[in-house]
Amino acid sequence: MTTNIIIVILVTSLATYLSRFLGVVSAEKIKETSKMFRWFNCLAYSTLAALIARIVIFPSGSLSEIDYLIRFVVVVLSVGVFYLTKKNLVYPTLFSAIILSVFSSYL
């Protein structure tokens, strides 16, 4: 069992770091203003938005026990904090975790 876990960790690490390495090597030839770069950027953001929407609308685990309204309010407040902190991702992430804990405990 231990050997299988080590093999899985090694294979997934290799896949992760190999793809990142290939991205770094190929990124030198791509201009940031090119249409292809912007397309991949939009694709990455849309994938992230879909994952966040799935987590908020169809959660699993402990998050599924929290009311939809609370989850929606936390997302809206976190987006507000994101723009208030000049698009910093650290503050809304911490804020959302704290406020979700507070709301789920007291509401």
Q: Where are the domains of the chain?
A: 1-30, 33-59, 66-107
Q: Which amino acid is at 91?
A: Y
User: Is the entire prediction scored with pTM above 0.75?
Assistant: no
- The confidence score (pLDDT) of residue 52 equals 85
Greater confidence, 98 or 107? 98
- The confidence score (pLDDT) of residue 79 equals 94
The overall average pLDDT reported for the chain is 89
Average pLDDT over residues 80-95: 93
- The confidence score (pLDDT) of residue 1 equals 67
CA distance 26 to 81: 35
What are the pLDDT digits (tens) for 55-80? 888 998 888 889 989 999 999 999 99
> 68 phi and psi, to 5 degrees?
-60, -40
